[in-house]
Amino acid sequence: MFSKIITTVTVALDGHPLSLYSGAVFMADSPSPYRVSPNISYMMVALAHAKQVNNHQVYIFDESLYRDEQLRYYIETHMQSALNQEEYQLYLQPKMNLQTGHIDGAEALVRWQPTGHGMIYPDQFIPLFEENGFCVQLDLYMVERVCKTLRAWIDAGISPVVISVNQTKSLFVKEDYVESLLAITRKYNISPRYIILEILEGLAFENIEALNSTIKHLNDAGFRVSMDDFGSGYSSLNTLGKLKIDELKLDRMFLSDVIKERNGAQSEVLASILALAKKLGMRTVAEGVETKESEDMIRSMHCDYGQGYYYSKPVPAEEFRKHFCISQA
């Protein structure tokens, strides 16, 4: 049908090219249980997905697509009320200081625990929040949860640890970003020295000068900045040389590749990057430390910190305090 229409019409159009697209959605006879919401039918969902594919495939709407869409709908309609109802929980994963053998830092990771619903993990909602802009609010809220927690610890005579917080890229282009952070640290009377801001490398590609200027502004205010997931995606040594960051976090794929092939070339690359980061004055963290073997390896390469399941999964802040914090009392 397509080629017949195109041939006939192209002649009529004096040789101008014509492209045609079409799609078909199969519908069950019985009333569908696949109703995502009063406004979104499974047909619209299937159609939207089929349009993304756009290469003459038959797209079958199935149970798993239905579940994904239902979750997406839940997330988008509840994200704001979840903030007001304090459903976003602060989990902490320890960072092991490889020189001292002590836990003296942690990474803050969000968990969404809706009432009467199973736990929702960041991989399920962070990409969506980055798309719709809500991540800016959530990330500042997480900074606030961190400061509130540190304040409670200090007041209870517990030695605080430095906590790293993930920050979405849209925050870095907000004019009042540094001021917003300072308003939070002041509210809880927490020194910015206790906060490390983790940013993704992708940010650096867009405008290194602008990024460096924000980093300088953050450093002047007392915050430190870490580059997360280095080695995943399109990491570049060029960027590394130009960025004025305090810490480099190596993606966990790095370590898992090296462990698979102990004395291979990847191990040389890892050792060289760790040495290079040191030379540039950055602290180094290896993510995804799952075994003693991984720890021994990164320690022998003079990496400063290890983070991973070998030490602990991310745990609720209260549990972190019980297991890893030292009371001065």
x/- letters, 164..203, toward ligand C2E (CB under 6 A): --x-x-----------------------------------
Among ligand C2E, Ca ion, none, what does residue 266 contact (CB within 5–8 Å per kind)?
none
Structure tokens at 202: 């992708």
- Select 85 or 291, whichever has its Cβ closest to ligand C2E: 291
Torsional sign, CA 275, 280, 286, 292: positive
Among Ca ion, ligand C2E, none, what does residue 231 contact (CB within 5–8 Å per kind)?
none
Among Ca ion, ligand C2E, none, what does residue 290 contact (CB within 5–8 Å per kind)?
ligand C2E
316 binds ligand C2E (CB under 6 A): no
> Between residue 74 and residue 113, which ones bind ligand C2E under the rule CB under 6 A?
93, 109-110
Residues 74 and 118: beta-carbon distance below 8 Å: no
Distance CA 150, CA 238 (A): 36
Strand partners, 158: 327
Alpha helices in the chain (DSSP H): 2-12, 42-53, 63-84, 122-132, 135-155, 177-187, 202-206, 208-221, 237-242, 252-260, 265-279, 292-300, 317-324
Structure tokens at 264: 């291979």
Q: What's the min distance (Å) between Cβ of 249 and Ca ion?
A: 6
Q: How many residues does the chain have?
A: 329
User: Binding segment for ligand C2E among 118-126, 145-153, 267-275, 298-306 (CB under 6 A)?
Assistant: 118-126
Among ligand C2E, Ca ion, none, what does residue 142 contact (CB within 5–8 Å per kind)?
ligand C2E
User: Binding segment for ligand C2E among 7-15, 31-39, 134-142, 177-185 (CB under 6 A)?
Assistant: 134-142
Q: Taking phi first (over 0 means left), then psi (-120 to 50 degrees means alpha), and beta for anything else, what does residue 222 get?
A: left
Which residues lie near ligand C2E (CB under 6 A)? Answer: 93, 109-110, 121-123, 126, 135, 139, 142, 166, 168, 228-229, 252, 288-290, 308-309, 314
